[in-house]
Amino acid sequence: MHNDDGINGAGGGADGHPEDRPPVPHTVIEGRYELLEPIGSGGMGEVWKAHDRRLRRFVAVKGLLDRRAMTPDTQKAAMQRARREAEALAKIEHQNVVTVHDQIETADQVWIVMKLLEGRSLADLLSRDGVLGVPRAADIGLQMAQGLRAVHEASVLHRDVKPGNVLVRDGGQVVLVDFGIATFEGADRVTRYGGVIGTPPYLAPELFVPTAHGPTSASDLWALGVTLYEMVEGRLPFAGNEVWEVQANIQESPDPVLRYAGPLGPVIQGLLATDPNGRLDAAAAEAMLREVLADPGTPTPTRAATPAPPPTARPTPPAAPPAEAVPSGSVPSGTVPPGPVHSGTAPSGSPSASPAAREGRGRFRGWKIAAAAACVVLLAGGGWLVSRGDSGGKHDDASGQQGSGSAGGDAEQAWEQWKSARKRLTIGAKEDQPGLSFHDEDTGVWSGFDVDIAYALAERLGYDKTQVDFYGVTTANRASKLKNGEVDLVVASYSMTPAREKRDGIRFVGPYYKAGSSLLVRKNSAKYDLDEAVDVKRNHVEVCTARDSTYADKLQEDGYTTGKWQPDTYKECVERLLDKRSSVYAVASDDVLLAGYARNDPAHLKLLPSGAGTEPYGVAMRTDDPLLHSKVCSGLQQILAGKEWSEMYMKDLSPLTGRKTAPSRPELRPCAAE
């Protein structure tokens, strides 16, 4: 169940906590709306599932967060915003905009009663899938544009368009939600003069010009462009968490690289025009998105045989005449114009569409021609592989374009030379960790999450499974195997730490998984009752862990008792734990690692979650191979971007963790430029 407020509430970014919830369940508002359970919260409001006793239906009711934590001034402003949100929504009736049913006000609370919708936010969708295929992104973008057009025609500005405020229902319907900071003609100002509120990565650059007169409909369209880019590229066009960081990146690089947008490229470019007067309006964007969806030959990027370049590198465009050789006003065949075609002047003060903006509907054809020409060139060059009927599921990343520049050619030539010297790829992995990395000595088969990650990486490096050799390593010797050149990579539940990189002279790419820490104990102990981690510490029983693991030092620091000698593998620790003559009563390691042992021997072993932090797993390699590092970084980014990672988790780790859905993918650490 999702709520009409989105994952992030007004202003975005704040999460409600149980102790902050204003009412208790089954509070009845005005004798009509019975609050049942909280289903979401944001910066200023919390949304409850409620039952309308009069009409006998379920609704969503949004109210302010804990008023006790507010000063009289902040409470007054919050109530004013809530009134304004209800007024703004009441002006709009559209299938792509959340519907408001009622507004109720008490002495210190404003309740907004809205239609209860089932679905998930676009932010959740992107967190799960990483990226969306072009057709699905175009469909979502089209519905967002339709909703924004209705919003603007009602003289309302949303001001916080972002994936967290876009609800995607199971049937595909898209609904704009959370109008908590919306404004409209005649609305009272609730922020200080000149103040800019919203979510930094989605704020338009004109809002920060000294002569700015506040947000316009063009500002909402900029945010739509950012969201479209994020859907198909898997990242934000302008990095940064703070306003100044984002705006500095916009000024420095106003034209973000488009690698997977295909025919959506012109739409995104038009929406991300830094000049609001040259930016597409909702009508023009809607028309262009319809054309993208109507074209049965819409190309979408699929995995190419050649791995993608590092994400920091700007792909080399197809060969085209020099810019100065192009006559003014013309577009050479096979090229995309470097900047957006002006579809009309965006409104400067009123959010309603201007006549010039409405003309954009008839001016989008130049964009369509440019997009089609670009697609022809890309298809001819082999950079795009057509996949008809893409619904936005698995996204197989590729470089998107085959660079014709010398830098790209040199890099590919260097990589081919690297591969020619290594006909087979040798990967170090552990042999004794069920579910993570296990080598069946009888069949010779390797299996587990680490193994699947390794195979997927090898494929992106240009090696098929028959060209991959696994080499058994342990916690204690994996660094030396790398440094000695016995393996090319290590994928072995290897926790990424700066200390390891410095001490062992290795380099990590990742994380590709984040594990929690845990303790494994005997299920029935005649001497101690070990039901919680604190029992292990309190009874001073001996804890075993693998030599050179991150736990070797942490255990003593955290007050646990360890032996003087630690084995090379966790398998040896488990064997000592099961030996009743041994002094070992617990094994400390990562939760998913120990879960494999517990699952294989449930009659004798059980897990005790200790909840002490996370262990980020990385792919390790030598520091003297920047080319390999670049390829692995690009390949791992591709794996994390699509459904492949979630499928691996569900196959290998879900049986160990008991989760019915895959967790959020870990965020890949930025790869240093070579």
Asked if pLDDT for residue 141 goes beyond 90, the answer is yes
Q: Which helix (H) or strand (E) holds 64?
A: strand 57-64
Contacts (Cβ under 8 Å, ≥6 apart) of 521: 530, 536, 577, 585, 586, 587, 605, 606, 608
Asked if pLDDT for residue 365 goes beyond 70, the answer is no
Which of 262-276, 333-347, 591-605, 643-657 is predicted with the least confidence, judged by mean pLDDT? 333-347
Task: Give the chain's largest Cα–Cα span.
Answer: 89
What is the pLDDT, as a whole number, of residue 236? Answer: 94
Over 90: is that where the pLDDT of 1 sits? no
- Higher-confidence position of 429 and 659: 429
Distances (CA, A) of 395 to 8, 133, 407, 525, 665: 26, 6, 27, 49, 15
Residue tagged 């979630």 (tokens): 646
Distances (CA, A) of 440 to 121, 427, 433, 490: 42, 17, 11, 19
* Distance (Å, whole) CA 634 – CA 616: 18
pLDDT (0 to 100) of residue 530: 84
pLDDT of 307 over the 70 cut: no
Task: Evaluate if residue 81 carries a pLDDT over 50.
Answer: yes
| pLDDT exceeds 90 at position 459 | yes
**Position 373 confidence tier, pLDDT thresholds 50, 70, 90:** very low
The secondary element (H helix, E strand) that includes residue 543 is: strand 542-544
pLDDT in tens, 26-57: 688 888 888 888 876 654 567 888 898 888 88
For residue range 435-450, list pLDDT tens digits in order. Answer: 999 999 889 899 999 9
For residue 303, the model assigns a pLDDT of 32
Of 14, 23, 72, whose CA–CA distance to 49 is shortest?
A: 23
CA–CA–CA angle 645, 647, 653 (5° rounding): 90
Instruction: For each of the domains in the chain, give its residue range(s) and CATH number, in order of start.
Output: 18-257 (1.10.510.10), 406-512+617-657 (3.40.190.10), 515-613 (3.40.190.10)
Higher pLDDT, 380 or 414: 414
Query: How many residues does this entry show for the chain?
Result: 674
Averaged pLDDT for residues 271-285: 93
Which sequence positions are flagged as catalytic?
A: 160
Q: Report CA dihedral (351, 354, 357, 362) to the nearest 10 degrees.
A: 140
Overall pTM > 0.85: no
DSSP 3-state assignment of 101?
A: strand
In 3D, which of 360, 349, 359, 346 has the Cα closest to residue 155? 349
- Average pLDDT of the chain? 74
- 110-119, 221-230, 649-658: lowest mean pLDDT where? 110-119
Nearest to 159 by CA among 246, 230, 218, 100: 218
451 pLDDT higher than 70: yes
Confidence check: pLDDT of 8 > 60: no
Check whether 100 has a pLDDT greater than 60.
yes
pLDDT of res. 487: 92
Q: Pick the residue with more confidence: 488 or 546?
A: 488
